[in-house]
Amino acid sequence: MDNNFIPVNIPLLDGREKELLIECIETGWISSEGPFVGKFEEQVAQRVSRKYGIAVANGSAALDIAVAALEIQVGDEVIMPTHTIISCAASVVRAGAIPVLIDSDPVTWNIDVNQIEDKITDKTVAIMVVHIFGLPVDMDPIFLLAKKYRLRIIEDAAQMMGQTYKKRPCGSFGDISTFSFYPNKHVTTGEGGMVLTNDEYLANRCRSLRNLCFKPEQRFVHDELGWNYRMTNLQAAVGIAQLETLDAHLDKKRQVGRLYQEKLDAINGVQLPLAHTNYADSIYWVFGVVLNSDVGIDANTMIKRLASKGIGCRPFFWPMHKQPVFNKMGMYKGVELPVSEMLAVNGFYLPSGLALSDDDVERVAFTLHDVVSSFL
């Protein structure tokens, strides 16, 4: 890679990762049977005020297991945002259930909680909450709806390790919650994820489902189909080291976000991310921007232009109701969710990795100013 190129993400492995990985190698504990897996589960659960953590292979696996553990059935409806990664909808569709999609709030870019109640039917069994980019979803209205209609809550907190909602940790909400530990997350294990719950029955189901549903009393006899979604001891070792530096990583994310806000404050034609709400301050998992119509180009064109100047960016999520794979299934014909459609076309995020320097941020901001100005 060009040494002058600033990628969208570089992970920061500046703690005890190497030390703990060497311990795995020297002891021979490299599989899912190693001791770091249980320690990592306990530490993450404690961090987010959950009783049980179940480590898995990745964040998508965590969602698969969460949906299966809740016994969501064919024909059930699960309300969720259309502006999210496809893993969320895929887990529901694979269960034979139906994702009922909600548009985005134009300011926070999270699910518009005011649109949810109108979509609840007698087939609705759950709401899947997905916190986006840096701010959590406004959870209080979700809790009220779940109680009123007796719905389960699945909280996808993949991007929110260390974030809080009204001083309560993200990952602690609802019946079951999930994390991803992909390299661009605040805590990474390379690949990896976790399911968390306070319900012992759900925790036991999740442990069984991640391990092929082996029967404890007769290992190779199965009453249910599960997955081999286990996390390795090597991954968990990295995760433990990452947890030790999480608070420093969160401070770094906030620093990067504040510097971008400062350097881009006067930019025309661009919507910057909301820094604060009455329930949370952004932790800037990524620094997203949305082009206004007067710029005259879309996000993909801007991403290419910035790449030519040595700046790596990534587009926002493509809406679930516009995904070809679901459209081929006959889903979402005629559905229009305009805010998410606008975000998909005009939204992208700037380099936001933990290894980003202040000089990198200033160069990115200057370059974005320069490119946007050339179109205005």
9-22 pLDDT per residue, tens? 999 999 999 999 99
Contacts of 12 (CB under 8 A, 6+ apart): 245, 249, 252, 353, 354, 355
Q: Say if residues 120 and 149 touch (Cβ distance below 8 Å).
A: yes
Of 115, 194, 97, 192, which is closest to residue 152 (Cα–Cα)? 97
Of 176, 212, 207, which is closest to residue 78 (Cα–Cα)? 176
pLDDT digits (tens, 9 = 90+) for 97-144: 999 999 999 999 999 999 999 999 999 999 999 999 999 999 999 999
When pLDDT is averaged across residues 346-364 and rounded to a whole number, the result is: 96
Q: Can you give the pLDDT at residue 247?
A: 97
Joined tokens for residue 257 = 């976000």
pLDDT greater than 60 at residue 158: yes
Domain 246-375: assigned CATH number:
3.90.1150.10
pLDDT greater than 70 at residue 153: yes
> What is the number of other CB atoms lying within 10 angstroms of the CB of residue 241?
22
Q: Can you give the pLDDT at residue 225?
A: 94
Please give the CATH topology (third level) of the domain spanning 17-244.
Answer: Aspartate Aminotransferase; domain 2 (3.40.640)
pTM reported for the whole predicted model? 0.96
d(CA 137, CA 81): 11
When pLDDT is averaged across residues 48-55 and rounded to a whole number, the result is: 98
Q: Say if residues 285 and 200 touch (Cβ distance below 8 Å).
A: no
pLDDT digits (tens, 9 = 90+) for 196-243: 999 999 999 999 999 999 988 888 999 999 999 999 999 999 999 999
**Mean of the per-residue pLDDT values for the chain?**
96
Of 104, 160, 171, which is closest to residue 135 (Cα–Cα)? 160
What ranges do the domains of the chain cover?
17-244, 246-375
Q: Can you give the pLDDT at residue 218?
A: 87
pLDDT greater than 60 at residue 1: no
Q: Can you give the pLDDT at residue 2?
A: 64
d(CA 199, CA 99): 24
Residue with tokens 């404690």: 46
